[in-house]
């Protein structure tokens, strides 16, 4: 069996090794049932317990108030781009969207199918190298909600503070959920695709305030109503059982390792090591403005595309995988989510310094 390498991929992304080891057992024989977790009935008492435990751990760790529902949905986070306005943006109403990256841009496109979208801030002309601070924009007084992406995977930017407004907040937290404390009560809805910081691809977590469940227009298809899934505990249809199971195992790992506060400290240290290596000379050039830098995804460039390609190829040979940047900005990107080990960041930093010494720009 080959040794494991350091996986900097943006998603599907690194999972805790002990979670994978447990899953390797449970995929064949889950809790001595003689049945693997991927083949067990979602109606069985064993899987219902898995789903209940996963939800309870998420509520505990993320401090979700009792008046919020936790849903395990399919269709990826991208399906939320239309489900949110379909359910919550009444005909003839407005919504405010902050355009800070590819995913917010796609959400804006979908929302325009259902109502008027106001975009008071966009960093697109600067290749999405920053997110706004409060005061950079004005929220339309007639908006039903304010939508933003808390962390931008492609461009390596992150909101350090959330929009301050009396309007309902909605956020795509796919790539930084559970990496820091969040006051869930400030939001109407939070969603996250699991495959970055929660588990494998296949399940999307939606945290929605209960009173919003009754806002859906009557003519929405049954499967696209949040209320449908809330009333059936996410089992109106067969849920993504294996993905939910892995999320539960990741949450157990998170709790065992000190919870969100502990992750926040570790994440700051890991990112600090990498940004320090970028900032110590002009050889590496961070994409995001310093005030907007992400702790989860760190995008940077070298002097030429050819030098970047050499860097990525040699890094891969050294066991540092997944460092190729997104095609929209090129360069390099290191995704260092909760489960990414500190020693992998140290190895990358050492490689960066060696590469710089051996390859003068």
Catalytic residues: 103, 172, 196
Peptide bond into 140 cis (omega under 30): no
Residue among 179, 129, 101 at smallest CA distance from 336: 179
Angle between helices 259-279 and 342-358 (to 10 degrees): 0
Name the token pair of 167. Answer: 């309007």
Q: What size, in residues, is the chain?
A: 361
Residues facing residue 259 across a β-bridge: none
Sign of CA dihedral 316, 318, 320, 323: negative
Whether 319 and 351 have beta carbons less than 8 Å apart is answered as: no
- Judged by DSSP in three states, 106 sits in helix
Are residues 57 and 248 in contact, defined by beta-carbon separation less than 8 angstroms? Answer: yes
- For tokens 């990358």, what's the residue? 348
d(CA 164, CA 162): 6
Beta strands in 44-115, from DSSP E residues, in sequence order: 68-73, 94-99
- Outline where 128-240 has alpha helix (H): 226-231
Strands 168-172 and 116-122: unpaired
**Angle, alpha carbons 95-129-307 (nearest 5°):** 145
Structure tokens at 314: 């040699």
* Residues whose CB falls within 8 Å of the CB of residue 181, separated by 6 or more in sequence, listed in order: 63, 260, 261, 264
Residue 333 exposed, middle or buried by CB count within 10 Å (0-12, 13-18, 19+): buried
């Amino acid at each position: 069996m080959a040794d494991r390498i350091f996986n900097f991929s943006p998603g599907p992304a690194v999972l805790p090794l002990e979670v994978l080891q447990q899953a390797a057992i449970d995929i064949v024989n889950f809790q001595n049932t003689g049945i693997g977790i991927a083949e067990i009935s979602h109606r069985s008492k064993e899987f219902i317990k898995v789903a209940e435990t996963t939800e309870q751990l998420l509520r505990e760790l993320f401090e979700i108030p009792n008046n919020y529902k936790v849903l395990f949905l399919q269709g990826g986070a991208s399906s939320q781009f239309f489900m949110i306005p379909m359910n919550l943006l009444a005909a003839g109403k407005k919504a405010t969207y902050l355009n800070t990256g590819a995913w917010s841009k796609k959400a804006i496109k979908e929302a325009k199918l259902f109502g008027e979208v106001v975009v008071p801030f966009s960093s697109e002309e600067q290749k999405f190298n920053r997110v706004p601070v409060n005061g950079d924009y004005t929220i339309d007084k007639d908006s039903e909600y304010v939508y933003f992406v808390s962390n931008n995977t492609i461009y390596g930017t992150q909101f350090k503070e959330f929009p301050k407004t009396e309007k309902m907040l909605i956020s795509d937290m796919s790539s930084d959920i559970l990496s820091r404390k969040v006051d869930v009560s400030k939001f109407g809805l939070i969603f996250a695709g699991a495959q970055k910081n929660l588990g494998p691809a296949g399940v999307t977590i939606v945290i929605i305030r209960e009173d919003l469940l009754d806002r859906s227009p009557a003519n929405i298809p049954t499967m696209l109503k949040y209320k449908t899934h809330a009333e059936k505990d996410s089992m109106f249809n067969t849920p993504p059982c294996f993905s939910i199971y892995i999320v539960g195992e990741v949450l157990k790992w998170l709790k065992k390792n000190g919870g969100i506060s502990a992750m926040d400290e570790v994440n700051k240290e890991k990112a600090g090591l990498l940004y320090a290596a970028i900032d110590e000379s002009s050889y590496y050039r961070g994409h995001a403005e310093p005030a907007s830098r992400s702790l989860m995804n760190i995008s940077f460039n070298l002097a030429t595309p050819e030098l970047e390609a050499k860097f990525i190829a040699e890094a891969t040979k050294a066991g540092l995988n997944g460092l190729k940047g997104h095609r929209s900005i090129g360069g390099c990107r290191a995704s260092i989510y909760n489960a990414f080990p500190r020693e992998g960041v140290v190895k990358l930093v050492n490689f960066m310094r060696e590469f710089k010494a051996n390859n003068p720009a």
